[in-house]
Amino acid sequence: MFGIWGHEKATEITYYGLHAQQHRGQEGAGIVVSNGKTLKLHKEDGLVNDVFERADFEKLAGYAAIGNIHYVTNGNRGFDNVQPHLFHTQNGSMAVTHVGNIMNSHTLRGELEDEGSLLQTTTDTELLAHLIKRNGKDINEQSIIEALQNLVGAYAFVILTEEKMYVALDPHGIRPLSIGRLHDAYVFSSETCAFDIIGAKYERDVLPGELITISKEGLESIRFAIREKRALCAMEYVYFSRPDSDLNEVNVHASRKQMGIELAKESPADADVVTGVPDSSISAAIGYAEQCGLPYEMGLIKNRYVGRTFIQPTQELREQGVKMKLSPVRGIVEGKRVVMIDDSIIRGTTSMRIVRMLKEAGAKEVHVRIASPTARHSCFYGIDMSTEEDLIAANRPVEAIRELIGADSLAFLSPEGMEKAIVKDTSINQGVCQACFTGNYPVTMKRKGILSENKSK
């Protein structure tokens, strides 16, 4: 998610801002721009590169823009869910884009429909727009606050009208959202790496429960909810964010390296080399190697050119040994006791495949070390993590997992080690959400059975 206010190349900057965050979603992209009089939208399925052409920059001329890329979780596949959404009313237009997950959306949709609203999609962005306009209200700070106060869940919203931009973060700040300055312009981004790409300066993170309004009069901030202890998603550090981003002012690569160091302290291995699964586990692997005094080597290679048009090998060829995305480096692992660092284990199938691959390439022993705790619980806050029954660790002790994946030893980072690696200080704004590891959910529906009300999309 990205927004910019007050730059004459707003669309172009937003293109680069989204491009820098392409790893956060590959299924679609869109930008809405305001020229002060009208809002214009361009969105399509596909990568940012494929969605926009230079000519679009001229068609979307304006001084304020918001954009998003499409991250598919269970239930929001399809073009209808590509954001932003643009709404025209006779009193003006409004574009909305969002990251996260509204847990009580089903209930809210029912209420709206009973009042006569007709929703076209199952997206949370459309839901928010309808809540704002509920009962024919105008689009302003007040109606947005009323709408936000209905929501239970994790969310970061950016709203654009012809004349204003609104930015809101949920009361626990579960999803990341930062503010930067590009000369006189304000920029907003899920990840700070977008600021580096466009040459902007990081200013601060949006606060939990904060609503920011930007207009010709400048930036105003109010709090629309009691601020809770921040519960920033730990998975952002583990694998979701880019290593060059800072979250809560902690650099992601550095935090990953530190996870590797903590992991080495907790669970060292008697081995010859350390290797990591590219790309997201390299930092942790280097940290682990440094801490253990073992050489870090490139024992696994990622095939960079595997894209949309890549022809997957048939089952027959796969059984004959044709690899796809990852391949082991025989010259590195043959005859060696290898520590293989991965960032997480979700379903376990990838780990199983990599262990077998390394053994087939001649590794004498494969010691798997996971730079995050066991993922045992579903996420209701917008990370696509499989349901509990699919999580290999949900109902299995570590030893059973080790056996399943065929490793010679297996260890996970502890939640405490994780916290040490991520949290810089203990202020209210610096906490993390480890719900998928620990089951301690910061936000719930506050009644029995609540967690399962999650959208039945």
**Among residue numbers 171 through 210, which ones bind a copy of itself (CB under 8 A)?**
182-183, 193, 196-200, 202
Stretch that binds a copy of itself, among 13-21, 167-175, 392-400, 444-452 (CB under 8 A): 13-21
Looking at the Cβ atoms of 129 and 169, the one nearer to a copy of itself is 129
Looking at the Cβ atoms of 295 and 439, the one nearer to a copy of itself is 295
- Does 58 participate in binding a copy of itself (rule CB under 8 A)? no
- Does 310 participate in binding a copy of itself (rule CB under 8 A)? yes
The CB-of-26 to a copy of itself minimum distance in angstroms stands at 9
**By C-alpha distance, which of 303, 240, 301, 259 is closest to 276?**
301
- Does 246 participate in binding a copy of itself (rule CB under 8 A)? yes
> 379: annotated binding-site residue?
yes
The site map against a copy of itself for 250-279 (x = CB under 8 A) is xx-xx--x---------------------x
Give Cα separations from 272 to 209, 264, 315, 411, 413 (angstroms): 49, 14, 34, 17, 21
The CB-of-234 to a copy of itself minimum distance in angstroms stands at 18
> Dihedral of the CA atoms 250, 254, 260, 261 (nearest 10)?
-90
Which of residues 227, 265, 330, 337 is near a copy of itself by CB under 8 A? 330
Residues 390-449 touching a copy of itself, rule: CB under 8 A, are none
Cα distance between residue 144 and residue 399, in whole Å: 50
Stretch that binds a copy of itself, among 220-228, 243-251, 414-422, 446-454 (CB under 8 A): 243-251
Which of residues 74, 113, 140, 163 is near a copy of itself by CB under 8 A? 113
The torsion angles phi and psi of 202, rounded to 5 degrees, stand at -65, 135
- Does 335 participate in binding a copy of itself (rule CB under 8 A)? no
The site that binds a copy of itself (CB under 8 A) totals a number of residues, namely 96
Q: How far is CA 397 from the centre of its chain?
A: 28
3-state secondary structure of 364: coil
> 280: annotated binding-site residue?
yes
Cα distance between residue 81 and residue 239, in whole Å: 24
Cα distance between residue 177 and residue 190, in whole Å: 4
Q: Which residue has the tokens 């928010």?
A: 128
- Does 74 participate in binding a copy of itself (rule CB under 8 A)? no
Cα distance between residue 400 and residue 229, in whole Å: 36
Q: Contact 237/424 with Cβ under 8 angstroms?
A: no
- Does 288 participate in binding a copy of itself (rule CB under 8 A)? no
Cα distance between residue 177 and residue 179, in whole Å: 7
Cα distance between residue 64 and residue 166, in whole Å: 12
Instruction: Output the six-digit token pair for 420.
Output: 């040490």
Q: How far is CA 398 from the centre of its chain?
A: 27
Stretch that binds a copy of itself, among 82-90, 337-345, 424-432, 434-442 (CB under 8 A): 82-90
Looking at the Cβ atoms of 217 and 315, the one nearer to a copy of itself is 315
**By C-alpha distance, which of 140, 131, 139, 132 is closest to 108?**
131
Give Cα separations from 346 to 27, 303, 395, 402 (angstroms): 21, 22, 12, 13
Which of residues 73, 150, 215, 327 is near a copy of itself by CB under 8 A? 327
- Does 90 participate in binding a copy of itself (rule CB under 8 A)? yes
Looking at the Cβ atoms of 329 and 352, the one nearer to a copy of itself is 329
- Does 33 participate in binding a copy of itself (rule CB under 8 A)? no
The CB-of-202 to a copy of itself minimum distance in angstroms stands at 8
3-state secondary structure of 24: helix
The CB-of-75 to a copy of itself minimum distance in angstroms stands at 12
Q: Contact 156/99 with Cβ under 8 angstroms?
A: yes
- Does 119 participate in binding a copy of itself (rule CB under 8 A)? yes
Stretch that binds a copy of itself, among 166-174, 301-309, 378-386, 432-440 (CB under 8 A): 301-309
> 193: annotated binding-site residue?
no
Instruction: Output the six-digit token pair for 29.
Output: 């992209």
Residues 142-161 touching a copy of itself, rule: CB under 8 A, are none
Which residues carry a binding-site annotation? 233, 280, 342-343, 379, 433, 436
